[in-house]
Amino acid sequence: MSGRGREARNSGYYDEKMERMDRADRDALQKKEALRSLRYAYEKAPGYREFLDESGVTPASVRSIDEFSLIPVLKKNQMPERHRKNPPFGGFLAVPAERLKRIYVSPGPLYDPEGRKEDYWGLRKCLYNVGFRSGDLVMNTFSYHLTPAGIFLDEACGGIGCVMVPTGVGNTEIQVRTMVELKVNGYLGTASFLLSLIRKMEELGYDPSGNLAIEIALVGGEILIPALRKGLNDYGVIVRQAYITAELGALAYECPQENGMHLAEDQYVEICDPATGEPLPAGSVGEVVVTNFANDCYPLVRYGTGDLSAVDEEKCACGRTSRKLRGILGRADEVTKIRGMFVHPRQVDEAVARFAGEVDGARLVVAREGGADKMTLEVRLKPGVAGTDILKASLAERVREATKLRGDVVFVSDISEGGKKIEDRRKWE
């Protein structure tokens, strides 16, 4: 598990032929596959066929990729309701359930299927190209429960020959001791949690210059601000990010240039107007809309992720010819990602529903504190109700149950009517 150095992690390709394919050839392939995926999803997934029929569009209406925008965008924030009406997968599953390998549970709730195809999520290329190598000892701090992040990154790392340490979330002192005693040289998780582990290491009397062996980190689940990346770089850690979702797998990843994220070859990605679904000109900021043509279990066509980004058309000095996303620039709707988990406004309602006799209104506020997300439920109580510590603790527990995240509860005198159920006050400068 000896150190490999920056040069070894910054060179090489996982699939050189595909990654350096002529851009025009790749575009033609992706457009052809996007049209095939439309026909496949309409034929095999009854929920998608129903969705498309509602709009009056059929695959026969879309004769070429120039007419692809006739297809309505299937919005991520509409999926919980569709799943609820037609459980458990909203009718979007295109194969018998017995052909699946796993079923994950995401907030909403949404049930995300995983098929049995090797490297189902397309994560091996992502991990190799950000800098992980066979023999690395990698600590995975993403959760292994319910949601897929922990397991699918674990399997992908194993697929390229890494040795896994599945620490999951929390238990910072144990994680620090594990990092030091095993000389862990790879990290998976949020950037802010890695920085908190290093700071905890210092609190416990370790010297990072001699005890921190981590060389490479793949981070996600939150926006990576330059100051946070630099703070980790100052400890000698290469920090790279990827765009990975539970429904689509690996969408994009950073190369050693660290200047945008290369789009995966097995997706057709559009940047669209969040309101109309119309594709926007190159360089414009809009919603990331994805057609995944590598997934025969759960085909998603023109799937609106709710994330905002823009495409960089410039060729990259790393030699890869794919276009790049300029990072995640925000959310197109009120669904908010907090510490790597999506939180829906309805989850706020679920958290306070049991307290209808005491609570007159609630709002979730997200801020940044010490480089990490801080979540606070603001609660307006009904007249005559006392804001006791017991009530506050009960509300906090319901918030944790509803969102799978811990947060504070504060009682306030006023919450504006008609305002956002989730208010994001984070600043990313």
> Coil, helix or strand for 386?
coil
Provide the pLDDT for residue 421. 85
Q: What is the pLDDT at residue 334?
A: 65
Residue 261 neighbours by CB distance under 10 Å: 27
What's the pLDDT tens digit per position in 29-46? 999 999 999 999 999 999
Q: Which residues, including other chains, have CB under 8 Å from residue 137's CB and lie 6 or more apart?
A: 1, 162, 163, 165, 182, 183, 184, 185, 186
Q: What DSSP string describes 173-200?
A: HHHHHHHHHHT--EEEE-HHHHHHHHHH
Domains present along the chain, CATH in parentheses: 5-23+114-333 (3.40.50.12780), 338-424 (3.30.300.30)
pLDDT in tens, 116-126: 999 999 999 99
16: Cα within 13 Å, side-chain hemisphere = 4
Asked if omega into 109 is within 30° of 0 (cis), the reply is: yes
Q: Round to whole Å and give the CA distance between 42 and 112.
A: 19
163 three-class SS: strand
Task: Read off the pLDDT of each residue in 76-100 and give the average, rounded to a whole number.
Answer: 95
Question: In the numeric block, which tokens belong to residue 389?
Answer: 């510590």
Q: How confident is the model at residue 224 (pLDDT cuts 50, 70, 90)?
A: confident
Mean pLDDT of 294-310: 94
Spatial separation of the C-alpha atoms in residues 281 and 268, rounded to whole Å: 16
DSSP-based three-state secondary structure for 360: strand
Residue labelled with tokens 């918030």: 399
| 6 pLDDT more than 90 | no
Could you give the C-alpha distances from 312 to 110, 204, 326, 394, in angstroms and in order?
32, 44, 6, 47
Average pLDDT of the chain is: 92
pLDDT of the residue at 257: 95
pLDDT in tens, 61-70: 999 999 999 9
pLDDT of res. 1: 45
